[in-house]
Amino acid sequence: MSKKYNAVANAEQSVSSTFVKGAAILTVSMIIVKVFGLLDKVILADIYSMFGDSLASMGVGIYNNAYEVFVVIFTVATGGLPIVISRLISENMTQKRYKDVKLVHRISIPLFAIVGFVCMLAMVAVSFPYAFYFIKSPYAIYAMIALAPVILFGCLTSIYRGYYEGQRNMFPTAVSEVIEAVVKLVLGALFAFLIMKFGMEHYRATGRFLFINFGNNHIDAENTILAFSVAGNICGISIASFCSFLYLVLKYKIGGDGIPAEYLENSVDARQKRETFAIIVKTALPIVGGALVMSIGSLIDAVIIQNVLFNLAGTNAKALFEQYKAYYPPEVFFGGKGNQFTIHTRLWGCYGASLTLMQLVTAVTQVFGSSAMPNVTSAYTKGNKAELKTSIETVLKMTMMFTLPMALGLSVLAHPVMNFIYASPDLINIGGNVLTLMGITTIFTGIITPICSMLNGIGRVKLPMILYTICMLVKIGTSWIFVSMPEVNIQGATAGSLISYALICVVGMFLLVKYSKIVPNFFSTTIKPLIGAVGSSAVAFFVNKLCEGHMNHRLSTIIAILAAAVIYIAILLILRTFSAQEVRILPKGEKIAKTLEKLHLIG
């Protein structure tokens, strides 16, 4: 079998080089994936707006409901598995135990397949009580069932992504993610539109949809067709996850495992299968536990928020009606004609529309965490303090340089950005209010993932689980308090996130310093990007204010963002944030570094 790349040679490259290269590959792919994911939700919302303005938030709400239980079960199936495989592959590559590398991969295939199949069945079983009793949103059931196959294929995909990432080869993961995003966007949007179009036409002509006779109950018919349309969109996701898995299998079969035959022959004998299985399970449990705590906490948080909103609508519907009557008809708040009120699902949809934008930022910082893992693990395993310090500082600087300007930018341009993306007035205005505070929260949600990845990398795999547990307990308590206030309602969910994530970021950074015995240069990694972010976000705010009213609102938003980007880069250069070594890693970096050195703009 021919080898398309040499994983051994790749593992021997410098930490900074492989981190930046890996992070760059995954960042580009993740930006593509998240932009396509955002387009998927925007197109979905716009499709529903074509059939009625108030349907957009309801559709997004159902879509979010489908993912709430899915995220928990998907985390059990895959949450720590790519990280575990990546960590074990990286360790064995560093120790030149190449037969163990292959053994870890062989054992992971049946293990992950069984876990994925069991969790897929669990998703179907749990969907019914969750939709009908826990969140009181029965329309979500179809979408939840449609999501179940994603768990199985996601689990199988993790086998190969973790294997390649452990060898510091991020390209297969990147390509598989892009394939998944493209297929999901095209098929998901197509299925959603066709079901909505022909479903509504059939109902108007016959009073029926599929096997259900609605008669004159237009609201129930509309919501049911909407629910099937969301399920159709999610069927596109299931097909996309299969396509991603298929690519990785073919990549492995055709391209090989990355270990040249001579290295494999000279390697020490592999451990016993039972010992390797025990290592995988022992390593996986705390990592999965940390991710699971986060997922269960988010699920409980979602259930509590929606139930608090549901009870608020039942006891103080007039207060919600006064705030949101411009966006929804009275029956959304008060029910009637045999229909239950749905304001809780619609407000949850507005929150989800804002959350999608925040996740654009956190998805990229998760990439930094994934790329950091093998580098930090390798440096820590070798006991190389200088390499470990370089790796930690590179991760922190990259994370801060990306997170801070994006987060503050989302906060100051919350309403213009929502208006740029969405067409539905409720998503623009209610979601814009949520996003203003959520932008600040993004700073901490973006930073915590790389911090926890580095804690895993230095062997402190139990600490992330403890941190996430504290985070979720604080978040659930604070969200409950704020959301139950009628004048705050859905915006209180973001306040809870801000308080909880800020707390564990501070604690997590303290623990990283304590156990790695490395004190990063915070002025270079954090303060300089923060100064640039504050300056650029101020420019974005004032440029948008000057331009709006004089031109198309989308154009003024684009100009504001471009002006902020130019100012941000200028401030970073003036502060000499980049080192010559970091610049040289870039394409044509040698020429760029020489130019910047002449201008005294790099350290």
Q: In the chain, what are the domain boundaries?
A: 7-315+322-520, 521-603
Q: What angle do CA 587, 588, 590 make, to 5 degrees?
A: 120
- When mean pLDDT is compared across 137-141, 335-339, 442-446, the lowest value belongs to 335-339
Average pLDDT over residues 76-101: 75
Rounded Cα distance, 541 and 547, in Å = 10
Q: So what's the pLDDT on residue 94?
A: 76
What pLDDT is recorded for position 593? Answer: 67
pLDDT of residue 50: 85
**Residues shown for the chain:** 603
pLDDT recorded at residue 261: 75
Over range 345-372, report the average pLDDT.
Answer: 78
Q: How high is the mean pLDDT of the chain?
A: 83
* Selection from 396, 407, 399 nearest residue 537 by Cα: 407
- Comparing 86-95, 334-343, 569-578, 580-589, which segment has the lowest mean pLDDT? 580-589
Q: What is the pLDDT of residue 208?
A: 84
CA 262 – CA 53 distance, rounded (Å): 65
User: Is 11 a residue whose pLDDT tops 70?
Assistant: no
Question: For residues 353 and 345, is the Cβ–Cβ distance under 8 A?
Answer: no
The band of 98, judged by pLDDT with boundaries at 50, 70 and 90, is confident
Residue 352 above 80 pLDDT? yes
User: How does residue 291 score in pLDDT terms, banded at 50, 70 and 90?
Assistant: low
Cβ atoms of residues 244 and 177 within 8 Å: yes
Indicate the pTM of the whole model. Answer: 0.70
For 113, the token pair is: 């397949």
Q: Using CA atoms, how far apart are residues 251 and 258, in angstroms rounded to an integer?
A: 11
Which range of 65-69, 330-334, 381-385, 433-437 scores highest in mean pLDDT? It is 433-437
What is the predicted pLDDT for the residue at 411? 94
Would the pLDDT of 20 be above 80?
no
Q: How confident is residue 37, by pLDDT bands cut at 50, 70 and 90?
A: confident
Per-residue model confidence as pLDDT tens digits over 107-120: 888 888 888 899 89
- State residue 2's pLDDT score: 43
Q: For the ranges 9-13, 139-143, 494-498, which has the lowest average pLDDT?
A: 9-13
What is the rounded CA–CA span in Å between residue 533 and residue 408?
7
The confidence score (pLDDT) of residue 143 equals 92
Looking at residue 3, its pLDDT comes to: 45
Who has greater pLDDT, 169 or 193? 193
* pLDDT tens sequence across 224-254: 899 999 999 999 999 999 999 999 999 888 8
pLDDT band at residue 1 under the 50/70/90 scheme: very low
577: nearest Cα among 529, 539, 518, 510: 529
* HSE-CB of 186 using CA atoms within 13 angstroms: 8
Pairwise CA distance, residues 60 & 346, whole Å: 8
Which of 25-39, 121-135, 581-595 is the most confident on average? 121-135
Task: Assess whether pLDDT exceeds 60 at residue 14.
Answer: no
Query: Which residues lie closer than 8 Å to 586 by C-beta, 6 or more apart?
Result: 592
Cβ atoms of residues 327 and 342 within 8 Å:
no
Tokens of 175: 């390509």
Distance CA 57, CA 63 (A): 10
The rounded percent of the chain whose pLDDT value lies above 70 is 89
- State residue 131's pLDDT score: 87
What is the pLDDT at residue 21?
Answer: 62
- Interval 300-333: pLDDT, tens: 878 888 888 888 888 888 888 888 888 888 888 8
Burial of 274: CB neighbours in 10 Å, binned 0-12, 13-18, 19+: exposed
The residue-averaged pLDDT of 446-465 equals 84
Please tell me which residue, 252 or 94, carries the higher pLDDT value: 252
CB count, 10 Å around CB of 534?
15
Contact 494, 366 (CB under 8 A): no
Residue 211 zone, left/alpha/beta (φ > 0; ψ -120 to 50; rest): alpha
